[in-house]
């Protein structure tokens, strides 16, 4: 099988990741729940994981790195911490349902969409300039679109938010591990990310980097201040109720070590090279529409349409040929609406550090064959 769905989850992991998770399952207990060796070992592992993330993402205090279930979990915490009933949020036109659904679950919320043209960073920034003003409770923007790989101008948007005094939440689901993510440099209130995509950790893991105060989403035991019925007022305990996913954290730590050793920039260039190779081939293929950005504004994933063929049907046809892709709306109908693909969806092809050029060539050849059949 040729796996080209790493924007959903990276399937091939560094060997140390599953080994660490398996070892933790039988050697480590719960951090903060006992002075015995398995408990103390778990506490050390959790701190090591936070410290590694803090170095990777420029967080001054490792205790402000919170372990979550996934990016969606972190985004829910961040949004609920900043946007209350009747509040106002400004979002980009390329947000995932992990942002829009939590917002629309807030009573009487007002959502302004800063919708700029696809692969037009200046246009996106201009849209945020128009929408970010006094009275806005939060700006929420993904760093990279999960549908098109569009790298949004987060650094400029962060500066705009600082100048206008509006908290910023960044969804780094498609950028953590491949692009520079900088909590302190951006001055963001929160940055949410999954552990199982570009960080090569297990599913069921994520991180929330906290630049400001946060409100708990879950309430329960923390192993600290147990005599009180209120959640602790310090991080990470305030946001980590219940038993930790120590096995997941162990694998995530090893995934982040892999990213640190390899270099996020090197991984990014590798993925971009493969995506460019595929887009070059498919861009010359009659019957295939390729959504391609200019230099510097597209990551290592791309979306296509096979003309005259339903995208879900095309995805299933590719799967029968051993090519794993993602077809449809990618849980991001807003992004498709902004780009004009809501009615048909797209086929997304996304790469990881473990993909090879021959795999890109093979997938492109199968897609060309599909397009040739539909064009007859």
Given a cut of 70, whether residue 245 has pLDDT beyond it is yes
Check whether 376 has a pLDDT greater than 70. no
The whole-number average pLDDT for the span 186-196 is 98
The mean pLDDT of the chain is 97
Confidence label for 372 from pLDDT (cuts 50, 70 and 90): confident
Q: Smallest Cα–Cα separation from 301: which of 322, 272, 280, 325?
A: 272
Planar angle of CA 116, 126, 143, nearest 5 degrees: 60
Domain parsing of the chain, residue ranges = 16-262, 263-374
Q: How confident is the model at residue 375 (pLDDT cuts 50, 70, 90)?
A: low
pLDDT value at position 225? 87
| Sign of torsion over alpha carbons 347, 353, 355, 358 | positive
| Most confident listed range (26-40, 320-334, 360-374) | 320-334
Q: Residue 33: which pLDDT band, with cuts at 50, 70 and 90?
A: confident
Are residues 247 and 19 in contact, defined by beta-carbon separation less than 8 angstroms?
A: no
Per residue in 170-188, pLDDT (tens digit) is 999 999 999 999 999 999 9
Q: In this predicted model, what pLDDT tens digit does every residue of 128-169 receive, in sequence order?
A: 999 999 899 999 999 999 999 999 999 999 999 999 999 999
Residue 219's alpha-carbon distances to 30, 242, 317, 354, in angstroms, are 17, 8, 46, 39
Contact yes or no for 88/79 (Cβ under 8 A): no
Q: Tell me, what DSSP letter sits at residue 305?
A: E
CA 268 to chain centre: 14
Question: Looking at the whole model, is its pTM more than 0.95?
Answer: yes
- Percentage of residues in the chain with pLDDT exceeding 90? 96
E strand intervals along the chain: 2-3, 65-68, 88-92, 110-114, 138-142, 168-171, 190-194, 206-210, 288-291, 301-306, 323-324, 326-328, 346-350
Q: How far is CA 333 from CA 43, 99, 192, 346, in A?
A: 41, 12, 20, 11
Q: What is the structure's pLDDT at 176?
A: 98
Statement: residue 357 has pLDDT above 70: yes
Neighbours of 224 (CB within 10 A): 13
**Alpha-carbon gap, residue 271 to 346, rounded angstroms:** 20
Q: What's the chain's Rg over C-alpha atoms? A: 21
Average pLDDT over residues 218-230: 91
**Helices and strands, counts by H and E, the chain:** 12, 13
Q: Which pLDDT value is given to residue 347?
A: 98
Q: Which pLDDT does position 8 carry in this prediction?
A: 98
pLDDT (average), residues 283-296: 96
**Measured distance CA(61)–CA(54) in Å, rounded:** 7
At residue 108, the pLDDT reads 98
Angle formed by the axes of helices 246-262 and 264-283, nearest 10°: 80
Q: What angle do CA 10, 16, 22 make, to 5 degrees?
A: 95
Question: So what's the pLDDT on residue 149?
Answer: 98
Annotation: CATH topology of 16-262: 3.40.640
Report residue 274 as tokens: 């493969």
- With a cut of 60, say whether residue 231 has pLDDT above it: yes
Domain 263-374: CATH class, spelled out: alpha beta
């Amino acid at each position: 099988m040729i796996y080209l769905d790493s924007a959903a989850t990276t399937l091939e992991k560094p060997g140390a990741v599953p080994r660490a998770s398996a070892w933790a399952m039988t050697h480590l207990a719960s951090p903060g729940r006992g002075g015995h060796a398995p408990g103390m070992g778990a506490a050390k592992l959790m701190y090591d994981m936070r410290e590694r993330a803090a170095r990777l993402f420029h967080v001054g205090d490792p205790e402000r790195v919170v372990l979550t279930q996934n990016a969606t979990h972190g985004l829910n915490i961040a949004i609920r911490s900043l946007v209350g009933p009747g509040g106002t949020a400004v979002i980009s036109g390329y947000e995932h349902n992990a942002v829009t659904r939590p917002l629309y679950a807030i009573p009487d919320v007002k959502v302004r969409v800063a919708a700029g043209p696809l692969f037009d960073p200046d246009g996106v920034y201009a849209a945020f300039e128009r929408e970010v003003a006094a009275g806005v409770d939060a700006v929420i923007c993904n760093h990279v679109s999960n549908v098109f790989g569009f790298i949004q101008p987060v650094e400029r948007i962060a500066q705009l938010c600082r100048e206008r005094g509006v908290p910023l939440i960044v969804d780094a689901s498609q950028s953590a591990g491949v692009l520079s993510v900088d909590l302190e440099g951006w001055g963001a209130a929160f940055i949410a990310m999954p552990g199982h995509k570009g960080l090569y950790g297990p599913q069921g893991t994520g991180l929330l980097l906290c630049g400001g105060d946060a409100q708990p989403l879950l309430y329960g035991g923390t192993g600290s201040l147990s005599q009180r019925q209120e959640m602790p007022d310090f991080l990470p305990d305030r946001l980590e109720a219940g038993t930790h996913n120590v096995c997941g954290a162990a694998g995530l730590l090893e995934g982040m070590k892999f990213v640190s050793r390899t270099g996020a920039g090197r991984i990014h260039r590798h993925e971009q090279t493969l995506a460019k190779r595929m887009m070059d081939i498919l861009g010359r293929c009659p019957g295939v529409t390729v959504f391609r950005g200019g230099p510097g504004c597209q990551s290592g994933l791309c979306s296509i349409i096979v003309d005259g063929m339903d995208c879900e049907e095309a995805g299933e046809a590719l799967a029968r040929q051993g090519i794993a892709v993602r077809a449809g709306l990618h849980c991001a109908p807003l992004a498709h609406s902004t780009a004009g693909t809501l009615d048909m969806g797209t086929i997304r092809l996304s790469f990881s550090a473990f993909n090879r050029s021959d795999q890109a060539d093979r997938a492109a050849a199968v897609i060309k064959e599909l397009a040739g059949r539909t064009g007859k």
